[in-house]
Homo-oligomer: A and B are copies of this chain.
Amino acid sequence: MNAHAPHPLDRATRLVRNADDSLTGRTDAAYANMVGPFGGVTAATMLNAALAHPKRLGDPVALTVNYAGPLADGEFRIDAAPVRTNRSTQHWSITARQGEGVTTTATAVFALRRQTWSSTETGFPQVPPAASLQRMQAGALAEWTKRYDMRFVRGGWPDGTKPDQALDSVSTLWIRDDPPRPLDFLSLAAICDSFFPRVMIRRPRWVPAGTVSLTTYFHADTKRLAAEGERPVLGTARASHFGLGYHDQSAEIWSEDGALLATSHQIVYYKE
């Protein structure tokens, strides 16, 4: 990689401000999914429309992204507005379009974070260190998976070697950007959508599936994320229910030293 070239994630989430205050983005082949771009990068790009806004207040606390329609390769337009700014919180509405069609909607809550009483109730998973595990070979998987160093503790891509039906839908893995990149809200937002659809882990085999709506809660501030540097984070995800064509997913993203950085939830369409 050219030392002066931007990281692929920065290139893929880059937005250019237009005269009418809208933003123009462009899908990036480095994060291509089977059809259209990886949804995690779309989520990060929607968040970036607020993060990069001159009126932005504080850090992101909550982000909801709805995948309304397919995003074709190429340019898209984002309109992002702070619909309400309070003393310490700010609410955003964000819409992406291609032509006249809405492809993605999002809402975000930003806030000035401050030190308070703190407690983590969920336990850090018992896992071996990242360096002791083998990296997943992306092989024939979608291009975006090659932008991550994923080291599965359990619940990896169904490779046909497992029994017909796994006992549960849990995946636990170490993950970091590849090439390495300092952790920030953009990379964390994308990583929250990097888990393969739970239905594929549970069956376990390939099933047509896609995220419909994604909500992430950020438990770390800018400073905490910056302290992570390029270290891998630990992700764990599970579903609670599959039925009527949709399943949920709840995920946690932990720092290497056991801080809960984000919790993330999504509802996923599947055909089975």
Contacts and interface: CB of A to CB of B under 8 A. Distances in A.
Interface of A: 61-62, 64, 66, 68-69, 83-84, 86, 89, 91, 93, 95, 101-103, 105-107, 109, 111, 113-122, 168-169, 202-203, 212-213, 215, 217, 219-221, 238-246, 248, 250, 252, 260, 263, 265, 267, 269-272
A70 to B, nearest CB: 9
Contacts of A169: 121
B265 A215 contact: yes
A95 B83 contact: yes
Tell me the number of copies of this protein. 2
Given A93-B93, A107-B66, A270 B215 contact: no
A69 to B, nearest CB: 5
B241 A122 contact: yes
B241 A119 contact: yes
A62 B267 contact: yes
A116 B113 CA distance: 43
Contact of A121 (B105, B109, B168, B263): B168
A107 B67 CA distance: 11
B243 A219 contact: yes
29 contacts: A61-B212, A61-B213, A62-B66, A62-B267, A83-B105, A89-B212, A89-B269, A93-B93, A93-B105, A106-B107, A107-B107, A111-B212, A111-B269, A114-B244, A116-B242, A116-B243, A116-B245, A117-B242, A117-B272, A121-B202, A121-B238, A121-B240, A121-B241, A121-B242, A215-B215, A217-B248, A221-B244, A241-B260, A250-B263
A91 B105 contact: yes
A244 B215 contact: no
Most buried by B among A114, A215, A260: A215
B212 A62 contact: yes
B267 A265 contact: no
Contact of A114 (B241, B245, B260): B245
A209 to B, nearest CB: 11
A245 B62 contact: no
A25 to B, nearest CB: 18
A62 B213 CA distance: 7
Contacts of A91: 66, 68, 102, 105
